[in-house]
């Protein structure tokens, strides 16, 4: 029997035994985290990545240049994959980064619309045995309910606001 999907909290908390949805709700209520550099944005992603397990889905939202790919680079490091392999999958659509216990699938929907997104087979990908991170997730209308949302805003001067939560 496989372990059920769990929503994760960011940053990694010492309350690891707390109910995951409760921890996520508490993190979301506490407001946005702020980073002051690309490396801090990556570190935020790494903190989340350390807590992710196969079957987890992370939806990323933010404008061009907001830091979504930097955050995913950190997630890759957090699962033990090589962060140097991470680049924006804008033209390849899906990239894979293998970690010791799970593969991270990095999806970018920026250039796609409607039927093109439907034809990707995202439902199969998210029901598989990997971790899935999807940039421009607002373009995917078929997204499941049990996912983590990450909203990144560029605050200028390399500062970013990062908000975590779950879909209602």
CATH class of 20-166: alpha beta
What is the DSSP code (8-state) at residue 66?
S
Question: What pairs with residue 134 in β-bridges?
Answer: 59, 107
Higher per-residue confidence, 63 vs 144: 63
Nearest to 70 by CA among 45, 51, 93: 45
pLDDT for the residue 8 = 35
- Helix/strand/coil for 105: strand
Distance CA 137, CA 59 (A): 6
Does the pLDDT value for residue 89 go beyond 90? no
Does the pLDDT value for residue 60 go beyond 90? yes
- Please tell me the pTM assigned to this model: 0.78
Per-domain boundaries in the chain: 20-166
């Amino acid at each position: 029997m496989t372990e059920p999907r769990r929503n994760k909290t960011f940053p990694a908390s010492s309350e690891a035994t707390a109910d995951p949805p409760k921890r996520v709700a508490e993190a979301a209520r506490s407001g946005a985290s702020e980073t002051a550099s690309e490396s801090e944005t990556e570190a935020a992603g790494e903190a989340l990545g350390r807590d992710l397990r196969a079957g987890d889905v992370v939806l990323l939202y933010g404008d061009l240049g907001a830091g979504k790919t930097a955050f995913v680079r950190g997630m890759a490091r957090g699962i033990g994959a090589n962060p140097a392999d991470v680049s924006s999958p804008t033209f390849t659509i899906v990239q894979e980064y293998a970690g010791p216990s799970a593969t991270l699938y990095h999806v970018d929907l920026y250039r796609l619309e409607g039927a093109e997104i439907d034809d990707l087979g995202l439902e199969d990908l998210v029901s598989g045995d990997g971790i899935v991170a999807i940039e421009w997730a607002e373009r995917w209308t078929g997204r499941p309910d049990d996912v983590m949302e990450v909203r990144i805003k560029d605050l200028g001067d390399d500062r970013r606001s990062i908000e975590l939560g779950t879909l209602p």
